[in-house]
Amino acid sequence: MTRLKSLPLLYKLFLGLAVVGVISLVAVYFVATHFILDDVKRFLISETAGQAGSLQEELASFYARNGGWKGVEEVFDAHTNAGWRGGGYGTHGSEAGRFQWGEHVLLTDPVGTVLYASSEGIRRETISAGTLSKGLPILVLGEEVGRLFTGAMLGRFSGLEEDLLASVRRSVAVAAFISLFVATAVDLLLLRLITAPFGRLIRATQVISSGDLTQPVAIGTQDEIGELSRVLDDLRMSLARSEEVRRHMLADIAHELRNPLAFLRAKVEAMLDGIQPASEENLGSLSEKLYHLSHLVDELQDIALAEANELPLDVDTLDLVELLHNVEEDVRTLLAGDRKEFRLEVPSLLPRIRADRRRLLQVLWNLLSNAIRHTTAGDVVTIQVESHPEEVLIHVIDTGEGMDEETLAHVFDRFYRGGRKRASESLGLGLAITKEIVRAHGGRIWVESRPSEGTRFSFTLEPVA
């Protein structure tokens, strides 16, 4: 069994098909020969019956003349020699005990007692009741006085007939063998066609697992294997994509960390060397860079925790109105110089919500700073709150430059920074973290945008029941 299991698929399938083929051909051979031979035998019997017809009449008149079967041999003996008038089979007179058309005959009385047999080969005492009905009845004045059998009726066929039956058997066997041979050849061809793509699929998979993600998987068939190869190719491409993202991520992280670190090092070394004084001003700028660094590291930790569903939340019951009014003032100050307008649209009745205050502010500021970054003078940034029984809906809407489809699709992706350049002092984690924070609160977040019309980020929060 284990040896069978280790066989290649091609051989397994072939073995299976071959076994099925042989079994069905053997079955066909037996069934076909049975029915064909049956028909042929029936035909032969009716043929011999036709030829024995005149003998039947002669026997009937012999019985009528003599009132019994005594001396019936002479009727048969008359035919054993040349002069038989019927039959198209030619003469077989040389064969002892056969009639001109090469047929044995046998005569019984109505109950099956054998009265005459033309050869020793078919001689017997009685004929069974089942076989009896196959014989030709000999009728005298409407009464059955005996039955005449030809060899065929008794299952004894003449040489010619045996030849015919043998040739029927032979043809069926030859046909079976030829079809087995053809079927095997066709099977092999088909199986090769079927199994060959598997080989290619395996090689393509090996190429992928060896780390080469550049070779497309193309099998070219339209069946399930083709489907499998397309799925595999999708898998390869998504692997290639995440591999690329990972590479960029590492490069970005290194890049973002390197600049402030280089600055800090240079500054600290300058102070150690006495080139610069360790003044408040110098230390202050170090502190600012350090702050920036820890912010980057915080973001990395946030995203790592959030994606492992382990973002710690310090959930509290919050007054959203108060929180938004606090934010409002900060946004207004922020926008003051830019001639951008800020609107806060909060319904008068707003349930309290449960959330982590710092995280919620992080979400709001991420969305707001996004909105502010993508607007110019004259644009409007709006925070709009809708209160529903099941959820509180917060929109951050801007009338800024909007996003194209491509950006829209990736805006929540980690390390995606749209058109922004590398040196933007950001890892492109803001919105990814925002999304994870909202998710951790059990809310949803989504974005709608039209290029040059504006963008609307929306997220939901759970009201306190």
Partner 1 sequence: VGALTIDQARREAWRGEECLALTPTEFDLLSFLARQPNRVFTRMQLLEEVQGYTTPALMRNIDNHVMNLRRKIEEDPAHPRFLKTVYGVGYKLTAGKE
What is the rounded CA–CA span in Å between residue 343 and residue 132? 115
Stretch of residues binding partner 1 (CB under 8 A), selected from 16-24, 109-117, 222-230, 320-328: 320-328
Reported as half-sphere exposure (CB side, CA atoms, 13 A), residue 216 has a value of: 5
| The binder of partner 1 chosen from 11, 181, 291, 446 (CB under 8 A) | 291
The CB-of-435 to partner 1 minimum distance in angstroms stands at: 16
Question: Which three-class secondary structure state does DSSP give residue 448?
Answer: strand
Q: Tell me the pairing of strands 445-450 and 392-398.
A: unpaired
What is the rounded CA–CA span in Å between residue 398 and residue 340? 10
Stretch of residues binding partner 1 (CB under 8 A), selected from 192-200, 331-339, 443-451, 452-460: 331-339
* Tokens 């607007």, located at residue: 375
DSSP classification of residue 186: H
Stretch of residues binding partner 1 (CB under 8 A), selected from 37-45, 101-109, 219-227, 290-298: 290-298
What is the rounded CA–CA span in Å between residue 315 and residue 194? 60
Q: Does 258 bind partner 1 (CB under 8 A)?
A: no
What is the rounded CA–CA span in Å between residue 138 and residue 122? 20
Site string for partner 1, 440-459 (x = CB under 8 A): --------------------
| The binder of partner 1 chosen from 304, 333, 377, 409 (CB under 8 A) | 333
Tokens for 415, please give them.
Answer: 């390390």
Q: Does 319 bind partner 1 (CB under 8 A)?
A: no
Site string for partner 1, 192-221 (x = CB under 8 A): ------------------------------
Q: 257: buried, middle or exposed (CB in 10 Å: 19+, 13-18, 0-12)?
A: middle
Do 51 and 87 meet the contact criterion of CB atoms below 8 Å apart?
yes
The CB-of-325 to partner 1 minimum distance in angstroms stands at: 8
The CB-of-402 to partner 1 minimum distance in angstroms stands at: 19
403 to 432, contacts with partner 1 by CB under 8 A?
425-426, 430
Q: Does 329 bind partner 1 (CB under 8 A)?
A: yes
What is the rounded CA–CA span in Å between residue 73 and residue 117? 9
Query: Which one, 201 or 334, has the nearer CB to partner 1?
Result: 334
Query: Which one, 47 or 302, has the nearer CB to partner 1?
Result: 302
The CB-of-413 to partner 1 minimum distance in angstroms stands at: 18
Question: With CB under 8 A, what is the number of residues at the site for partner 1?
Answer: 31
Query: What is 353-375 written as a DSSP string?
Result: EEEEHHHHHHHHHHHHHHHHHT-
DSSP classification of residue 118: S
Instruction: Specify the amino acid at residue 217.
Output: V
Provide the β-strand partners of residue 395: 384, 458
Q: Does 119 bind partner 1 (CB under 8 A)?
A: no
Query: Which one, 131 or 282, has the nearer CB to partner 1?
Result: 282
Stretch of residues binding partner 1 (CB under 8 A), selected from 20-28, 134-142, 205-213, 322-330: 322-330
Query: What is 74-97 written as a DSSP string?
Result: HHHHHHHSS-----SS---TTSTT
Q: Does 277 bind partner 1 (CB under 8 A)?
A: no
Point out which residues bind partner 1 (CB under 8 A): 280-285, 287-288, 291-292, 295, 325-327, 329-330, 333-334, 336-337, 357-358, 361-362, 365-366, 369, 373, 425-426, 430
